[in-house]
Amino acid sequence: MCIDVNEAKLAKLRAGEVPFFEPRLADLLKRNWPHRLDFTSSLPDGIRGREVVFVAVGTPPQEDGSADLSYVLGVAEEVAKAAEHDIVLVLKSTVPVGTNEKVRAVVERFAKHKISVVSNPEFLKEGDAVNDFFKPDRIVIGTDDDRAYELLERLYSPYNRQRSRIQRMSPKSAEIVKYASNAMLATKISFMNEIANLCDVAGGDVEHVRLAVGSDERIGMQFLYPGLGFGGSCFPKDLRALVRTGADYGLTMEVSSAAVRANEVPPKNLIAHMERDLGGLGDKVIAVWGLAFKPKTDDVREAPGIKMIAELVARGARVRTTDPQARDTARESMTHMGLMDRVEIFDNEYETCRGADALLLATEWNEYRNPEFPRVRELLRGRHVFDGRNMCVPSAVAAAGLAYRGMGRPTLGY
């Protein structure tokens, strides 16, 4: 039973429509509704007779970077008041250390039955969430309650048939794990972007450096891709929340703070290159491929492509853009940002190039990896391609008569 306050969203779900894009999720919904899956806006009805209740509400960032726990604590209070029997309340939302204690204090104040609060952070990547859920690297369960642990162990048993992926620990350790994991991955991205910048100014090819560094099995290849930086709903928010949590405990999270600052640099560097290469951006027309913060999602929260468009517009440019999935979410976001009077969104990537002075690749969708560059050259008014994700073969771009600039890669065709 899935519970939400948004009746319009529930109506879509009952009609077999997922309100956002995530591969394979719509198929799962259609296969399981209504005989194994249902939806309601009534929390008392939704939790009646249930042994486990998951809290998966948002924890949006506040102005100081800390996580807003009002939704988590509000749901906990509602569950405590509505519970008609013992329940295990599982915190799936990404929350700072100490939240489990705060939730327990709330439920103890209002509950008439025993409510065990368990910290069970999720580690799902947007664009591959279903696969991550079915084949998890680890299942972290933070609880001191043996009965609650045994119940979750049974619940997750289908995903532990080959080997146990469950790691039991204290609630505080479980809360730290999620932030620590995201901070480590984001730091790898920021570090590689710094190396790309070094290659750019000192001479070198970051692609060669990346492959050699990643060949060290202690380091590995994952998240060693330089580009326009990380975005989305997790990395930026979680890093700032981790930094704020450290400050609350009197600690300066030096590495995480540096990763946050470093993430702002790549878009600024590429904008500076674009201004120099194009002789300024005033009244220039820029085609931008990619609006989602990463492929296989329509999520544009803190998307580097949107940030680049905002900077281009601020410097007087006009933008023609597209994305395989994020056109509607981007239009909503850019309308809110006041950008749409200088931005046009198209269904076809080649149409964005018509009459444009340059092409910017902002999201590494497979569709954009090997386009028809001669066609791009024919449609562009200018001849510059700015590869913000290092996803093209530079020689293929140059062979079409275009000028190529990547992130920390040698330029071609200049």
Decide if 5 contacts 71 (C-beta within 8 A). Answer: no
Nearest to 294 by CA among 365, 225, 361: 365
Decide if 231 contacts 304 (C-beta within 8 A). Answer: yes
What are the boundaries of each domain within the chain? 2-177, 265-405
pLDDT value of position 47? 97
Decide if 376 contacts 406 (C-beta within 8 A). Answer: no
The answer, yes or no, to whether residue 405 has pLDDT greater than 90, is: yes
The answer, yes or no, to whether residue 160 has pLDDT greater than 90, is: no
Pick the CATH number of 265-405 from 3.40.1050.10, 1.10.10.2840, 3.40.50.720, 3.40.50.2300: 3.40.50.720
Nearest to 290 by CA among 323, 329, 328: 323
pLDDT band at 246 (very low <50, low <70, confident <90, very high): very high
The answer, yes or no, to whether residue 70 has pLDDT greater than 90, is: yes
Structure-model confidence comparison of residues 62 and 54, the more confident one: 54
| Cα separations in angstroms, 95 against 4, 60, 403 | 20, 10, 46
The answer, yes or no, to whether residue 149 has pLDDT greater than 90, is: yes
pLDDT value of position 61? 87
Mean pLDDT value across residues 147-163: 92
Pick the CATH number of 2-177 from 3.30.470.10, 3.30.565.10, 3.40.50.720, 1.20.59.10: 3.40.50.720
Average model confidence (pLDDT) across the chain? 95
* Residues taking part in catalysis: 234
- According to DSSP, the residues that pair with 38 across neighbouring strands are none
pLDDT, tens digit, 9 for 90 and up, residues 352-378 = 999 999 999 999 999 999 999 999 999
pLDDT, tens digit, 9 for 90 and up, residues 26-35 = 999 999 988 9
pLDDT value of position 48? 95
Decide if 84 contacts 50 (C-beta within 8 A). Answer: no
pLDDT value of position 164? 86
pLDDT band at 162 (very low <50, low <70, confident <90, very high): confident
pLDDT value of position 212? 97
Mean pLDDT value across residues 128-142: 95
Decide if 1 contacts 38 (C-beta within 8 A). Answer: yes
Q: Give CA–CA dist 1/11, Å, rounded.
A: 14
The answer, yes or no, to whether residue 275 has pLDDT greater than 90, is: yes
Angle (deg, nearest 10), helices 265-278 and 171-202: 20
pLDDT value of position 345? 98
Decide if 247 contacts 319 (C-beta within 8 A). Answer: no
Backbone angles phi, psi at 174, to 5 degrees: -65, -40
Burial 6-25 (b: 16+ CB within 10 A, else e): eeebbeebeeeebeebbeee
Decide if 62 contacts 68 (C-beta within 8 A). Answer: yes
H-only helix segments in 83-165: 99-110, 129-134, 146-155
The answer, yes or no, to whether residue 297 has pLDDT greater than 90, is: yes
pLDDT, tens digit, 9 for 90 and up, residues 186-221 = 999 999 999 999 999 999 999 999 999 999 999 999
